[in-house]
């Protein structure tokens, strides 16, 4: 709930969306005017029309769909591998303090180095092919998923386990019917973070070592000094990243519904 | 429990040492441990590793300071003014969907590949979490306190300095803490792509280009270690500054 702020009752009847659009539209108008009068050379700031035309060009030639598809495939592969391993490790550490004692320090050290740091290391180890991309993205998803799964399982109230014991649940039943369902919301939060990290890692690895994908479109535009192509690629990177997060948020809300009941 | 935690790292290091000495793997890909240590020593003594580290840290501090100060100012404005919030927050939220690294090519065209471009990029990385958390903190001020302040006929300025800022402080601290972490990673990232000038990121990239795994490993070690220390330091300072909260 929003706390009462300093009184600001101006234009109470204007819908928020209209106000929200005011700033980008003003910016766009300024940008168009500046391009029209040539205040800035097009090598520094192409006109909005040129960016739109570049996007349409990319879409028509099929380059956009192809590169977006390649990027998405990489993210899906890497995210699937990384989050699966993260879930396994998180569940193992969450259920067994012994495993946590053994693995956690090494895991922490591994997680301490940001994904960006691992890229050159992996480039030397596995080259710059497809395995590099999947490994980098998997690492990015693995860490938050493992951490959130661990803390999610730890946060299950001990009372739940006691009720399970009352029903004489076996270990497997306890895990399947009590612990995992109770830990689903935090685990899903971890998956959502994981996907965001995976998308950022994809952009990083495609900027550094790729001949295809949305990140490569950026590098290519940079080399050709095609700012319109670069800005178009940035727009798509933003939109796809946003949509991926929306999908996860929707699933998250659905999974949490039972809690409200 | 410390002993259990040490088992896997020791096994890993032993396997590494054995494999690198067995001659089955190219030592350029898996250099023996003592070789990495030797490189570290050489780098510190002869090659100016500390100068590289200092360059990265200075950049980090410059970008972090500018970015978080600007972030606090913008976040405060957006948090306190409903009009500013409605005007700018949706655009800010839209722009922040673009992965931060995707800005690097554009920044390098607008600001070149020198110091200015790097600092602009680090600034942007620090700016985002500070704006978000400051904004959130400002809006979480308790309604009851605001009522009290009204009754005491606080002026606008008093309202901001005695009520909104103090109640937003924990949230601002969280934002600044995140900014510290992001800024350090962004420093390395900026050096990856704008390779002119000294820095730890440049060192790692040079190691990769020259196929020197020892150099890459050394760089990664420093990257992780500095990140760890920054995080630890920030946590300690945060705890100290927010001591009053516990009371």
What distance in Å separates residue B208's CA from the closest CA in chain A?
6
Q: Would you say B183 and B64 are in contact if contact means Cβ atoms under 8 Å apart? A: yes
Sort out which chain A residues have CB atoms less than 8 A from B86's CB and list them.
16, 19-20
Q: In this predicted model, what pLDDT tens digit does every residue of B129-140 receive, in sequence order?
A: 999 999 999 988
Question: What number is the average pLDDT over the span B120-148?
Answer: 93
Question: What number is the average pLDDT over the span A4-20?
Answer: 65
Give the confidence band of A240 by pLDDT, cuts at 50, 70, 90: very high
Q: B8 vs A102: CB contact, 8 Å cut-off?
A: yes
Quote the percentage of chain A above a pLDDT of 70.
Answer: 93
- The b/e string for A70-82 (b: 16+ C-beta within 10 A; e otherwise) is bbbebbebbbebb
Sort out which chain A residues have CB atoms less than 8 A from B223's CB and list them.
113-114, 117
Q: What is the pLDDT of residue A130?
A: 94
Question: What number is the average pLDDT over the span A92-101?
Answer: 92
Q: What is the pLDDT of residue A10?
A: 54
Rounded (5°) CA angle A125-B207-A116: 65
Alpha carbon separation from B151 to B141, B146, B159, B162, B217 (Å, rounded): 16, 9, 12, 14, 62
Q: B12 vs A208: CB contact, 8 Å cut-off?
A: no
What distance in Å separates residue B46's CA from the closest CA in chain A?
24
Say which CATH topology domain B51-241 has: MetI-like fold (1.10.3720)
Most confident listed range (A16-25, A39-48, A163-172, B217-226)? B217-226
Q: What is the pLDDT of residue A254?
A: 84
Q: Would you say B180 and B69 are in contact if contact means Cβ atoms under 8 Å apart? A: no
Q: What is the pLDDT of residue A192?
A: 94
In order, the DSSP letters of B35-72 are: HHHHHHHHHHHTS-HHHHHHHHHHHHHHHHHHHHHHHH
For residue A227, the chain B residue with the least C-alpha distance is: B106
> What's the start-to-end Cα distance of chain A, in Å?
21
Give the confidence band of B27 by pLDDT, cuts at 50, 70, 90: confident
Q: Which of residues 51-80 of B touch A (CB under 8 A)?
A: 79-80
ipTM of the complex: 0.89
Q: Which of A50-59, A70-79, B169-178, B189-198 has the lowest mean pLDDT?
A: B189-198
What distance in Å separates residue A21's CA from the closest CA in chain B?
8
Question: What number is the average pLDDT over the span A209-226?
Answer: 92
Question: What number is the average pLDDT over the span B154-162?
Answer: 87
DSSP designation for B195: -
For residue A26, the chain B residue with the least C-alpha distance is: B87
Give which of A259, A95, A98 is closest to A161, Cα–Cα: A95
Give the confidence band of B1 by pLDDT, cuts at 50, 70, 90: low
Q: How far apart are CA A233 and CA B234, in angstroms?
A: 36
Q: What is the pLDDT of residue A259?
A: 60
Q: What is the pLDDT of residue A4?
A: 46
Quote the percentage of chain B above a pLDDT of 90.
Answer: 64
For residue B2, the chain A residue with the least C-alpha distance is: A101
- The b/e string for B68-82 (b: 16+ C-beta within 10 A; e otherwise) is bebbbebbbbbbbbb
Sort out which chain B residues have CB atoms less than 8 A from A103's CB and list them.
8
CB atoms within 10 A of CB B223: 25
Sort out which chain A residues have CB atoms less than 8 A from B89's CB and list them.
20
Most confident listed range (A6-10, A165-169, B70-74)? B70-74
Helix (H) or strand (E) holding B212: none
| A241 pLDDT above the threshold of 70 | yes
Q: How far apart are CA B215 and CA B200, in angstroms?
A: 10
Q: Does B219 contact A at CB distance below 8 Å?
A: yes
* Residue partners of A213: CB distance under 8 A and separation at least 6: A67, A70, A71, A74, A202, A206
Give the confidence band of A12 by pLDDT, cuts at 50, 70, 90: low
Q: Would you say B134 and B75 are in contact if contact means Cβ atoms under 8 Å apart? A: yes
Q: How far apart are CA A136 and CA A202, in angstroms?
A: 8
Structure tokens at A47: 């006109």
Structure tokens at B216: 């890459």
Q: What is the pLDDT of residue A231?
A: 94
Give which of B186, B205, B185 is closest to A209, Cα–Cα: B205
| B94 pLDDT above the threshold of 70 | yes
Question: What number is the average pLDDT over the span B71-88?
Answer: 93
State the alpha helices, DSSP H only, in chain B. 2-22, 33-45, 49-80, 82-95, 104-111, 115-139, 143-151, 156-158, 165-193, 200-209, 213-241
Sort out which chain B residues have CB atoms less than 8 A from A102's CB and list them.
4-5, 7-8
Q: A23 vs B109: CB contact, 8 Å cut-off?
A: no
Question: What number is the average pLDDT over the span A19-25?
Answer: 89
Q: Which of residues 124-153 of B touch A (CB under 8 A)?
A: 139-143, 146
Q: What is the pLDDT of residue B246?
A: 56
Q: Does B10 contact A at CB distance below 8 Å?
A: no
Q: How far apart are CA A4 and CA A2, in angstroms?
A: 6
For residue B201, the chain A residue with the least C-alpha distance is: A117
3-state DSSP of chain A: CCCCCCCCCCCCCCCHHHHHHHHHHHHHHHHHHHHHHCCCCCCCCCCHHHHHHHHHHHHHHCHHHHHHHHHHHHHHHHHHHHHHHHHHHHHHHHHCHHHHHHHHHHHHHHHHCCHHHHHHHHHHHHCCCHHHHHHHHHHHHHHHHHHHHHHHHHCCCHHHHHHHHHCCCCHHHHHHHHHHHHHHHHHHHHHHHHHHHHHHHHHHHHHHCCCCCHHHHHHHHHHHCCHHHHHHHHHHHHHHHHHHHHHHHHHHHHHHHHHHC
Helical pair B165-193 and B104-111, crossing angle rounded to 10 deg: 80
| A261 pLDDT above the threshold of 50 | no
Question: What number is the average pLDDT over the span A191-212?
Answer: 95
Give the confidence band of A88 by pLDDT, cuts at 50, 70, 90: very high
Q: How many CB pairs under 8 A join A and B?
A: 156
Q: Does B114 contact A at CB distance below 8 Å?
A: no
* Residue partners of A129: CB distance under 8 A and separation at least 6: none
What distance in Å separates residue A116's CA from the closest CA in chain B?
7
Which candidate from B99, B188, B189 shows the least CB-CB separation from A199?
Answer: B99
Question: Rg of chain B over CA atoms, in angstroms?
Answer: 23
Q: How far apart are CA A179 and CA A158, in angstroms?
A: 10
Q: What is the pLDDT of residue A1?
A: 40
> In chain B, where are the structural domains located?
51-241
Q: In this predicted model, what pLDDT tens digit does every residue of B196-245 receive, in sequence order?
A: 789 999 999 999 999 999 999 999 999 999 999 999 999 998 888 888 76
Q: How far apart are CA B208 and CA A140, in angstroms?
A: 21
Torsion of CA A162, A167, A172, A176, to 10 degrees: -80
Residue B90: HSE in the Cβ half-sphere, 13 Å Cα cutoff: 14
Alpha carbon separation from A154 to A101, A157, A183, B52 (Å, rounded): 14, 8, 8, 42
Q: Is B188 helix (H, G, I), strand (E, B) or coil?
A: helix
Q: Which domains does chain A have, with CATH numbers?
A: 51-260 (1.10.3720.10)
Dihedrals phi, psi of B198, to nearest 5 degrees? -75, 165
Sort out which chain A residues have CB atoms less than 8 A from B1's CB and list them.
101
Give the confidence band of A258 by pLDDT, cuts at 50, 70, 90: low
| A117 pLDDT above the threshold of 50 | yes
């Amino acid at each position: 709930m929003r706390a009462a702020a300093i009184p600001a009752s101006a234009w109470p009847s204007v819908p928020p969306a209209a106000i929200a659009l005011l700033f980008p539209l003003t910016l766009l108008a300024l940008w168009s005017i500046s391009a029209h009068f040539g205040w800035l050379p097009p090598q520094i700031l192409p006109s909005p029309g040129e960016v739109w035309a570049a996007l349409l060009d990319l879409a028509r030639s099929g380059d956009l769909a192809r590169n977006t598809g390649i990027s998405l495939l990489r993210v899906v592969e890497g995210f699937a591998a990384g989050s699966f391993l993260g879930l396994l490790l998180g569940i193992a550490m969450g259920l067994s303090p012994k495993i946590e004692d053994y693995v956690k320090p090494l895991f922490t050290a591994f997680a301490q180095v940001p994904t960006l740091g691992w890229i050159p290391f992996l480039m030397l180890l596995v080259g710059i092919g497809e395995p590099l991309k999947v490994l980098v993205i998997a690492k990015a998803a693995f860490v938050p998923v493992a951490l959130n799964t661990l803390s999610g399982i730890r946060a299950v109230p001990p009372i739940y386990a006691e009720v399970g014991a009352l029903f004489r649940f076996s270990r497997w039943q306890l895990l399947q019917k009590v612990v995992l369902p109770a830990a689903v919301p935090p685990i899903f939060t971890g998956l959502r973070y994981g996907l965001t990290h995976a998308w950022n890692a994809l952009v990083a690895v495609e900027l550094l070592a790729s001949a295809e994908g949305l990140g490569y479109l950026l590098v290519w535009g940079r080399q050709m000094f095609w700012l319109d192509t670069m800005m178009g690629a940035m727009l798509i990177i933003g939109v796809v990243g946003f949509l991926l997060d929306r999908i996860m948020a929707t699933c998250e809300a659905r999974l949490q519904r039972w809690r409200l009941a | 429990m410390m002993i259990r935690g040490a088992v896997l790292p020791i096994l890993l290091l032993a396997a590494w040492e054995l494999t690198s000495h067995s001659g089955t793997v190219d030592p350029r890909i898996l250099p023996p441990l003592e070789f990495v240590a030797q490189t570290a020593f050489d780098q510190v003594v002869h090659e100016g590793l500390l100068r590289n580290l200092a360059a990265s840290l200075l950049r980090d501090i410059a970008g972090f300071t500018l970015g978080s100060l600007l972030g606090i100012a913008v976040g405060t404005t957006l948090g306190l003014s409903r009009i500013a919030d409605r005007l700018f927050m949706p655009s800010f939220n839209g722009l922040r969907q673009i992965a931060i690294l995707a800005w690097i090519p554009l920044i390098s065209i607008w600001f070149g590949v020198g110091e200015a471009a790097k600092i602009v990029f680090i600034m942007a990385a620090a700016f985002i979490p500070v704006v978000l958390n400051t904004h959130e903190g400002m809006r979480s001020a308790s309604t009851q306190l605001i009522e009290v302040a009204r009754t005491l006929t606080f002026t606008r300025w008093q309202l901001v300095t005695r009520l909104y800022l103090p109640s937003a402080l924990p949230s601002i601290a969280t934002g600044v803490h995140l900014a510290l972490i992001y800024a350090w990673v962004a420093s390395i990232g900026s050096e990856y792509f704008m390779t002119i000038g000294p820095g730890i990121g440049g060192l790692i990239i040079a190691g990769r280009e020259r196929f020197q795994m020892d150099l890459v490993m050394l760089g990664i070690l420093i990257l992780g270690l500095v990140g760890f220390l920054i995080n630890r330091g920030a946590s300690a300072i945060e705890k100290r500054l927010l001591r009053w909260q516990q009371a």
